[in-house]
Amino acid sequence: MPTLKVKNLYKVYKGAKFISAKNISLEVNEGEIFGFLGVNGAGKSTTIKCITGIIPFTAGKIEICGHDIVESAFEAKRSFGFVPDNHAVYDKLTGSEYVSYIASIYKVPKEEYQERFDTLVKKFNLQNSINNQIMSYSHGMKQKISIIGALIHKPKLWILDEPMVGLDPQSILDVKNYMKEYAASGCSVIFSSHNLDTVEKLCDRAVIIHGGIVIADINLKEYREKGMDLEEEFMKLTAKAREEIDKIRAELLVQERELAEKIGKRKAAQIMQKKIMDEVHASMLA
């Protein structure tokens, strides 16, 4: 059974001019490290937020360890741990208070907690500051406590959004090693990144997203075996996609502008939004 199964995912933000995630389908298997690649605004974070249930999605189906994120939200949420890109944690709490809060939420038994806590704190080298208020933590330390919080309930799926941003080289290495270790234990890891090198070396598979569309699903094991260059492929694919998507988007903007001149900005925006939604529904039916 795949740890994560996304089928025909669509996301249109309220009032948006374009579809942020369009017909995204993917599967992540047990023991896999899976990468999301894409330029800024490609739709990586949107897809991850939909997967984690942070934002609702317009259409499609997401299953985590067999649990539907909408219909069996609690079971699905208990199956993953998430590390966001903004390193937001409750900074009025101390590090240990934050981790015990998360542990209680996920009902971690007392007897299991201490061992996991000690291992993770040691692994991420936070022994000296774990009892300090998070507000005193550096950027990297906040990222580390966020990772400890995400893993304290030992989820089957570990999701990270831009995890390496702001970390020092040693911490980056620690996180990478732990990702490998975690995947080797039979769990799955998904992360988004701009860093092609990291993805190429670390991941078993990756998708490239551009303009909300999956433009490539790459088996990186094969890439590595064949000695192919991910960077070159990425540049080629995104340049082509950018050309096409920019053209479509420019046409849409012209249409909206023309409509706006006739019926006013507000109504034009409403019509364009409806058009997007019709497109989503038509795709779903197809």
Angstrom distance (rounded) from CA 113 to CA 107: 10
User: Which residue, 112 or 222, is less far from another protein as judged by CB?
Assistant: 112
Q: How far is the CB of 212 from another protein (least distance, A)?
A: 15
Q: 77 or 205, CB closer to another protein?
A: 77
Cα angle 104, 129, 157; round to 5: 45
Kindly tell me which of 29 and 72 has the beta carbon lying closer to another protein.
72
Measured from the CB of residue 87, what is the shortest distance to another protein in angstroms? 9
Shorter beta-carbon distance to another protein: residue 86 or 219? 86
Shortest distance in whole angstroms from residue 216 CB to another protein: 28
DSSP 21: E
Alpha-carbon gap, residue 140 to 154, rounded angstroms: 22
Nearest to 32 by CA among 63, 4, 61, 62: 4
Quote the least distance from Cβ 4 to another protein, whole Å. 15
99: which 2 tokens? 């981790």
Least Å distance, CB 134 to another protein, is 7
How far does Cα 196 stand from its chain's mean position?
Answer: 16
Q: Is residue 187 within 8 Å of 34, Cβ to Cβ? A: no
Nearer to another protein, 14 or 226 (CB): 14
Closer residue to another protein in complex, CB, 89/196: 89
Q: CB of residue 164 vs another protein: minimum separation in angstroms?
A: 19
- Which two three-digit tokens encode residue 48? 């991850």
> CA-CA distances (angstroms) from residue 168 to 89, 138, 172, 173, 250?
19, 11, 6, 9, 40
Residue 191 has phi, psi (to 5 degrees) of -145, 150
Comparing CB distances to another protein, the nearer of 54 and 173 is 54
The residues that touch another protein, with contacts defined as CB under 8 A, are 13-14, 49, 52-56, 73-75, 77-78, 82, 84, 86, 88-94, 96-97, 99-110, 113-114, 117, 131-136
The one-letter amino acid code at 49 reads K
**Element holding 163 (H helix, E strand):** none
Q: Output the smallest distance, CB 170 to another protein, in A.
A: 23
Q: Structure tokens of 115?
A: 């061992």
